[in-house]
Structure 1
């Protein structure tokens, strides 16, 4: 197996250094994911750009964005992102029952949020080949046509990080260790 570097600001390619400096300022440390992505300045920039677009240009709440992210993380079996996003959700005051449902792969009690979770799951599992009934259910729950496409933005954002973590076997940061997750920790439905 190829051993990928977890770059520091000092060891990163020149084009990645400003991105890692931004990570350091934003998080107080350089997340290992960003350190791994720094090997490819294009990947790191793409990830940070799509992440920023997803966070600031959609009409989705923090909870709704995390539902999309965590659904993809779980379906893709990304242990790094499951732990990291659990920490992000806790800091963002996402309700505990929503966090538990997303980590366990179980339904969310709130029907509107559950409709979003199911739709995000369908987008990921069916690779975008969504049946009209799935779109109708999302719209009936109170979401919009824009939401259909915003789920795709969130899915693309998670493909960048989830696949990177699979390839590089990114080590979990100490900041996220308390929320470690494996597929075995997911409850059987």
Structure 2
């Protein structure tokens, strides 16, 4: 595997430094994903901007994180599963939901089950959602707006999961208690 740099604010390309500083200030540490993305400052900028946009969707914070965690688990991205485990805990999800999502199972909560099922379907089908899946998601109480907002979740996970796979992003010390091992393909 090619050795991609794990940048610090000091070693990063000039165009990435402000984004790294802002992320470190906001999170209290510099996620290694961002340290890897900094090699391509526009990728880092795109990810951070899209993440901020996704946070403004009409999905609840738990629903947002559940979709990201479910997609990351299906994409076998250990870094993102750990990161979104922290995110969904912070959003207030209960431990059973988190356990189910990390095991790639459907949560018992009907709304979260619908969100994660549809997000995983959308991701697996590369956007070619089957009508029956769309119908089931809408029947669970969601809207066409929610359908399209989950496209953002898939886009975010494409950016981060692919980066982690290509760059071999190691877990930060802060995320090690949330470590997850991807199942064999």
Instruction: Pick the TM interval, shorter chain.
Output: over 0.9
Alignment of 1:3-14 (within 5 A): 3-14=3-14
Residue 93 (structure 1) aligns with: 92
Alignment of 1:68-79 (within 5 A): 68-79=67-78
Residue 42 (structure 1) aligns with: 42
SS at match of 1:183: coil
Normalized against structure 1, the TM-score is what?
Answer: 0.94
Does the Cα contact within 8 Å between 2:81 and 2:102 map onto a contact in 1? yes
Residue 123 (structure 1) aligns with: 122
Q: Tell me the CA shift for residue 91 of structure 1.
A: 2.2
CA distance in 2, matches of 1:172, 1:141: 36
Q: Tell me the CA shift for residue 33 of structure 1.
A: 0.6
Is 1:138 paired with 2:137?
yes
Alignment of 1:1-189 (within 5 A): 1-56=1-56, 58-184=57-183
Q: Tell me the CA shift for residue 162 of structure 1.
A: 0.4
Does the Cα contact within 8 Å between 1:73 and 1:158 map onto a contact in 2? yes
Normalized against structure 2, the TM-score is what?
Answer: 0.96
Does the Cα contact within 8 Å between 1:62 and 1:94 map onto a contact in 2? no
SS at match of 1:167: helix
Does the Cα contact within 8 Å between 1:6 and 1:35 map onto a contact in 2? yes
Instruction: Give structure 1 stretches of 5+ with no counterpart.
Output: none
Q: CA RMSD in A?
A: 1.1
For this pair of structures, how many residues does the alignment match? Answer: 184
Q: Tell me the CA shift for residue 184 of structure 1.
A: 3.8
CA distance in 2, matches of 1:84, 1:134: 28
Does the Cα contact within 8 Å between 1:72 and 1:155 map onto a contact in 2? yes
